[in-house]
Amino acid sequence: MKPRVRFAPSPTGYLHIGGARTALFNWLYARHTGGAFILRIEDTDAARNSQEAVEVILNGLRWLGLHWDEGPLTADATGPCKGDRGPYFQSQRKENYRRRVEALLSRGLAYEHEGAVKFKMQREPITVHDLVAGDVVRKLTDREEADPDFVILRSDGQPVFHLVNVVDDLEMEITHVIRGEDHLSNTAKHIALFQAFGVKLPHYAHIPLILNPDGTKMSKRDKGASLANYVHDGFLPEAVVNYLCLLGWSPKDNREKLALAEIVECFDLPQILRHNARFDYEKLLWLQGEYARELADDRFYELAVHAFAKAGVNTNAFPLAYVKAALDTCKGKFKTFSELPVYAGFYFADQIEYDAEGAKMDFVPENKPRLEKLRDAFATAPTFEAATLETALKETAKALGVKAGVLVHPCRLAVTGKPAGPSLYHLLEVLGKEKVLARIERSFERFA
RNA sequence: GACCCUAUGGUCUAGCGGUUAGGACACCACCCUUUCACGGUGGUAGCCCGGGUUCGAUUCCCGGUAGGGUCGCCA
């Protein structure tokens, strides 16, 4: 039988980066083995679940490219799903849980207590045969020693996580439960439940957690815990996916930047590390830069235009050729797309602000006559192309007896307002003679 | 408090009894370069501690310490 794995998030309104990795590892295992990846929404807690919250999860998985073989097609719990083991929303499976509780009750494996139903848990240690952690013998804690039984149906009739999770996994015929290590201790309860239902256990693989850079638990409040964060900051899904794979897993041959197809090829459960990993934003940024540099032109333009639009800059107000030429000077020079509007905003702004530090350094009295000379050279250059402008600048520098850099810096600041940016000669060409000369002219009033 | 998992440079990792402990990110220096970035070269930095086992432990065992997880009518 082909493996059947599932990602079973609770719609809380955001997709945790650790949850995203759990989904990814499930997806990778399914693709590696030719099995099925199932998405199940654990929305038993009606009070805090909403359709929008489900939307966040669906969108997150879609953004990452983790398409599911079975599960919801929309965020509507009563809406259409694909797969024949549905419903895939727990809120729609009440009847299944009720039947299962009845069965346990009638066989004396559960009992009513203060209006709730509790499962009779065994006191003997339970061994979890975990594909990642190995054999784990789980003994009762002191509190469980006092009362090992646990609630499976609340007094208001709502089923509890442990029950629904197990019922769904067995009814959906899940073969491998790949989930966060935070569930390892709970697994004993789940195993007892599976046995009570008289069915074969799924294989378990508990993957380590992702921690904050300081080693503490990454919770909703932490910056960087939400996947939406990376989407918002203009990361590329392929970079995030690649990075997530490297947290707790490695191909063991020193490769780090890997295409998804390569990862699918060599991914497997036993090679997953057993210890938690800290999230290294800098390394993610590095991968992001790697992927951003080799983006296909069309996708690059699309993402760039979108980034500008989000920053309130409508690049469509400019000629398409101008926009493309401008963006071409930026490709490979920034990492996340959220940097772009600041990096290249001068192409699309009427008024430019001068960087304070740069102005102090470059808009000094002795530079004014130099910049005037440069302006004249640009004005009389035979063409306004990068190569011509470079020649003009270098000849001007030579005539003035200074290094090229002495002209380059004030010129860049005058034209872009920034001390760093795209190749100067190329950006001058893109901006065009009129804007360049006007901006240089305007900068003169700023010289000390 | 009890139970469970884990421990290689700052971070992610390779290693599975004998290695000059390898790679990547970050950092530093230099080169390239009009800036920034990229690229190139070199460098700083590591086996948590204590006992065993062994001719020999980063590697195996035990203990400690530290970090993480779980013990809920949350999931």
Q: Mapping DSSP to helix (H, G, I), strand (E, B) and coil, where does residue A128 land?
A: strand
Chain B bases near protein CB atoms (7 A cut-off): 1-8, 10-15, 22-26, 34-38, 67-75
Residue A219 scores a pLDDT above 90: no
What is the pLDDT, as a whole number, of residue A193? 98
CA distance A381 to A392: 7
- According to the model, what pLDDT value does residue A351 have? 86
* Average pLDDT over all residues of chain A: 94
Is residue A50 pLDDT above 90, yes or no?
no
Spatial separation of the C-alpha atoms in residues A37 and A26, rounded to whole Å: 7
Reported confidence tier of residue A44, pLDDT bands at 50, 70, 90: confident
- Cα distances from A12 to residues A16, A53, A92, A159, A289, in angstroms, run 10, 6, 18, 18, 31
CA A259 from chain centre, in angstroms, equals 16
Give residue A106's pLDDT. 97
pLDDT at A447: 82
pLDDT digits (tens, 9 = 90+) for A355-410: 988 898 899 999 999 999 999 999 999 999 999 999 999 999 999 988 899 999 99
The answer to whether A90 and A96 have CB atoms below 8 angstroms apart is: no
pTM confidence score: 0.94
Which nucleotide is closest, CA of A278 to its C1'? B11
Which residues of A are catalytic, by number? 220
Burial class for A248, CB neighbours closer than 10 Å (0-12, 13-18, 19+)? buried
Residue A30 CA to B9 C1' — how many Å?
Answer: 36
Task: Name the one residue in this structure whose structure tokens are 């200074």.
Answer: A402
Nucleotide with minimal C1' distance from the CA of A393 is: B34
Give Cα A319 distance to the centre of its chain: 33
Distances (CA, A) of A296 to A232, A274, A328, A427: 21, 37, 12, 21
**What percent of chain A is modeled with pLDDT above 70?**
99
| Nearest nucleic acid nucleotide to A152, CA to C1' distance | B73
Q: Enter the ipTM.
A: 0.95
- Kind of pairing between the strands at A134-138 and A126-130: antiparallel
A103-116 tens-digit pLDDT: 999 999 999 999 99
- Cβ–Cβ under 8 Å, residues A38 and A166: no
Q: Is residue A296 classed as helix, strand or coil in its secondary structure?
A: coil
Rounded-to-integer distance, Cα A57 and Cα A300, Å: 26
Distance of A105 CA from B72 C1′ (whole Å): 22
CA of A22 to C1' of B6 (A): 19
Residue nearest to nucleotide B25 (CA to C1'): A283
pLDDT at residue A62 tops 90? yes
In this complex, the nucleotide whose C1' atom is nearest to the CA atom of residue A8 is B75
Question: Rounded mean pLDDT of A287-295?
Answer: 96
* Rounded-to-integer distance, Cα A177 and Cα A204, Å: 5
- With cut-offs at 50, 70 and 90, classify the pLDDT of residue A222: confident
Instruction: Tell me the C-alpha distance between A375 and A117, whole Å.
Output: 85
Distance A250 CA to B14 C1' (A): 9
Distance A65 CA to B59 C1' (A): 39
pLDDT at position A231 is 96
